[in-house]
Amino acid sequence: MDHLPIPVDRQRPSRRVVGFAYFDIPFLGEVGEAGDDFYTYAVAHKIVNNDSDHSLNLDELEELDDVNLYFARVQAWLYFGLICDTFGSSVNLEDFIVVNASTEERVINSAELKGLMAEWRSRVSKLSKRARTADVERIKQSTTAGWRFCDRADHYGVSLTEQHMLVLSSIRILISSIWGMLWASDVGAGNLNEDCRLSIDVIKWPRLPASYRPLAVLMAEYGWCPHEILRLLGTYHLTTVWTMTCLLRRTPAQLDHERCAGAIKCIARDVDPLEHQGKHATNDCNCEAVGPDIEQVKTILRGGGTPLIRCKISKDGRPSFRVIRAKGVKRHIAFSHVWADGIVIPQQNKIFRCQFLKLASYLEKARVEVQAERLFGFLSIAPFLARHVFKGPKSFDIWLDIFCIPSILHADSQELRKQAIARIYSVFAGAEAVLIVDKSLTDVTDGDMPTTEVMARVASSGWMTRCWTFSEMSLAHTSVALFCVGDRIIPYEDFKEYNKAFKRLDVPSQSLFRNLRDSAFITFNIAWIASQAVVSEYVAFALVWNSLSARSTSWPEDVWGIMATLLGYSGKEIMTLQARDRLPAMMKELPSIPASFFFRDLPRSASGPAQMRWIPTRVQGILRDADGTFAFIDGGILFPRTLNLKFLMSVTTTVPPSFSFEFHHEDLSARPDLLRVMFQISLHDHEAVLQHAGSDAQVCILLPRNESQSGDSETAYISGIGCALLVTTIRADSTVEAEFLSSLSYRFGTEKQGHHLQASLAGPNVILRCDRQQWYQPKLRRKKHTLAPSTFSRILYFGVPAVLVFIMATTMVPLWIWYSVTHQPLRVQAILVLATCGFALFIVAVMMVVIFHENFLFRNWVDSFDEGHPKRWWKKIMPLW
Ligand SMILES: [Zn+2]
Ligand SMILES: [Zn+2]
Strands (DSSP E) along 684-786, which ranges? 697-706, 719-730, 736-748, 756-758, 760-761, 766-769
Q: In angstroms, what is the span from residue 313 Cα to ligand 2's centroid?
A: 16
* Cα 569 to Cα 590: distance, rounded to the nearest angstrom: 13
| Nearest residue to 23 via CA among 95, 143, 81, 110 | 110
Within this chain, do residues 324 and 212 fall inside the same structural domain, yes or no? no
CA 7 to the chain's CA centroid: 24
Ligand at minimal distance from the CA of 290 is: 2
Query: How many beta carbons lie within 10 A of that of residue 533, not counting itself?
Result: 9
* CA 250 to ligand 2 centroid distance, Å: 23
Q: Tell me the CA distances in angstroms from 680 to 162, 297, 677, 694, 700, one per residue in order.
A: 29, 61, 10, 21, 15
The answer to the question of residue 526 being in a domain is: no
**Cα distance between residue 676 and residue 285, in whole Å:** 72
150 and 93 inside one domain: yes
- Quote the number of domains for the chain: 4
Domain edge (last residue) among 744, 774, 804:
774
* Inter-CA distances, 180 with 139, 190, 236, 301, 514, Å: 12, 10, 11, 51, 9
Reply yes or no on whether the pLDDT at 443 is more than 50: yes
Say yes or no to pLDDT of 609 above 80: yes
Report the pLDDT value the prediction gives residue 389, as an integer from 0 to 100: 75
51's CB contacts (< 8 A; 6+ apart) are: none
In a domain, 692, yes or no: yes
pLDDT at position 586, please?
92
Please report which ligand is nearest the Cα atom of 279. Answer: 2
Task: Give per-residue pLDDT as tens, 798-855.
Answer: 788 889 899 989 998 998 888 888 878 888 888 888 999 999 999 989 888 887 877 7
Give pLDDT, residue 710: 39
Q: Is 304 contained in some domain? A: yes
Q: Exposure of 150 by Cβ count < 10 A (0-12 exposed, 13-18 middle, 19+ buried)?
A: buried
* Ligand showing the shortest atom-to-Cα distance for residue 267: 1
Inside any domain, residue 584: no
352 CA from centroid of ligand 2 (Å): 5
Q: CA angle 664-668-669, nearest 5°?
A: 95
Q: Are residue 218 and residue 328 in the same domain, yes or no?
A: no
**81-107 in b/e burial notation, b at 16+ Cβ within 10 A?**
bbbbbbbeeebebeebebeeeeeeeeb
The verdict on residue 5 lying in a domain is no
Rounded Cα distance between 459 and 236, Å, is: 10
Torsion of CA 270, 272, 273, 278, to 10 degrees: -70
Nearest bound ligand to the CA of residue 229: 1
* Closest ligand by atom to 281 CA: 2
pLDDT at site 712: 47
Looking at residue 5, its amino acid is P
User: Which residues, at least 6 apart from 57, have a Cβ–Cβ distance to it below 8 Å?
Assistant: 46, 47, 48, 49
Give the pLDDT score at 472: 92
Cis (ω within 30 of 0) for the bond into 704? no
Q: How far is the CA of 257 from the centre of ligand 1 (A)?
A: 4
pLDDT, residue 665, reads: 66
Query: Please, which residues have CB within 8 angstroms of residue 293's CB and are 6 or more apart in sequence?
Result: 321, 323
Share of residues in the chain with pLDDT > 70 (%): 90
Q: Are residues 37 and 175 in the same domain?
A: yes
Residue 212 within any structural domain of the chain: yes
End-to-end CA distance of the chain: 53
Task: List pLDDT tens digits, range 690-713.
Answer: 888 877 888 999 887 654 433 445
Ligand nearest to the CA of 263: 1
* pLDDT of 127 over the 50 cut: yes
pLDDT, tens digit, for every residue of 310-336?
999 888 889 999 999 988 788 899 999
Ligand 1 midpoint to CA 199 (Å) = 20
Q: If pLDDT is split at 50, 70 and 90, which confidence band does 573 have?
A: confident
| 408 CA to centre of ligand 2 in angstroms | 24
Expressed in angstroms and rounded, the spacing between residue 353 Cα and the centre of ligand 2 is: 6
- CA 268 / ligand 2 centre spacing (Å): 24
Q: DSSP readout, 772-812?
A: GGGS---S-BPPPB-PPPHHHHHHHHHHHHHHHHHHHHHHH
pLDDT of residue 377: 61
**Length of the chain (residues):** 881
Range of the domain at 700: 631-774
Query: Is 795 found in the same domain as 761?
Result: no
What does the alpha-carbon distance between residue 589 and residue 90 come to, in Å, rounded to a whole number? 59
Q: Is residue 849 packed enough to be buried (19+ CB in 10 Å), middle (13-18) or exposed (0-12)? A: exposed
Q: At what angle do helices 162-184 and 213-221 cross, to 10 degrees?
A: 100
**Three-state secondary structure readout of 493-555:** HHHCCCCHHHHHCCHHHHHHHHHHHHHHHHHHHHHHHHCECCCCHHHHHHHHHHHHHCCECCC
564 backbone φψ class: left, alpha, beta (φ>0; ψ -120 to 50): alpha
52 and 112 share one domain: yes
116 with 50, same domain: the answer is yes
pLDDT tens-digit series, residues 458-505: 998 889 989 999 999 988 877 888 999 988 999 988 888 767 778 888
Rounded CA separation 661/344 (Å): 57
Is residue 270 scored above 70 in pLDDT? Answer: yes
CA distance 515 to 5: 13
Domain-located, residue 362: yes
CB contact at 8 A, 291 and 350: yes
Do 814 and 738 fall into the same domain? no
Cα angle value 820/822/825 (rounded, 5°): 85
Cβ atoms of 459 and 481 closer than 8 Å: no
Q: What is the CA(494)–ligand 1 centre distance, in A?
A: 30
Non-local (6+) Cβ contacts of 724 within 8 A are 681, 683, 689, 699, 700, 701, 702, 741, 742, 743, 744
Highest mean pLDDT among 200-204, 424-428, 865-869: 424-428
Query: Beta partners for 26?
Result: 107
Which H/E stretch holds residue 660? strand 658-664
Residue 669 reports pLDDT greater than 70? no
- CA of residue 278 to ligand 2 center, whole Å: 10
Question: Residue 182 has what pLDDT?
Answer: 93
Q: Quickly count: other Cβ atoms within 10 Å of residue 364's Cβ.
A: 12
Q: How far is the CA of 482 from the centre of ligand 1 (A)?
A: 26
CA 427 to centroid of ligand 2, rounded, Å: 28
877 has a pLDDT exceeding 70: no
Q: Are residues 710 and 857 in the same domain?
A: no
- Expressed in angstroms and rounded, the spacing between residue 17 Cα and the centre of ligand 1 is 21
Q: Work out the mean pLDDT of the chain and round it to a whole number.
A: 83
Cβ atoms of residues 527 and 472 within 8 Å:
no
What is the average pLDDT across 588-605?
A: 88
Q: pLDDT tens digits for 409-436?
A: 777 777 888 888 888 888 998 899 999 9
For residue 773, the CA-to-ligand 2 centroid distance in Å is 58
- Among residues 722, 742, 774, the one where a domain terminates is 774
pLDDT at position 399 is 94
Q: How far apart are CA 139 and CA 189, in angstroms?
A: 10
Whether 252 shows a pLDDT value over 70: the answer reads no
Q: Which of 745, 774, 803 is the last residue of a domain?
A: 774
pLDDT over 70 (residue 790) = no
Query: Which residues on adjacent β-strands are paired with residue 630?
Result: 593
Q: What is the largest CA-CA distance in the chain?
A: 112
Answer whether residue 338 is part of any domain. Answer: yes
58 has a pLDDT exceeding 70: no
182 shares a domain with 42: yes
> How far, in Å, CA of 518 to CA of 503, rounded?
17
- Ligand closest to CA 352: 2
Q: In this structure, are 446 and 306 located in the same domain?
A: yes
- Cα 285 to middle of ligand 2, angstroms: 4
Ligand 2 centroid to 287 CA: how many Å? Answer: 4
CA-only gyration radius of the chain, Å: 31
- Clarify whether residues 708 and 840 are in a common domain: no
Query: Closest ligand to 270 CA?
Result: 1
Mean predicted confidence (pLDDT) in 28-51: 79
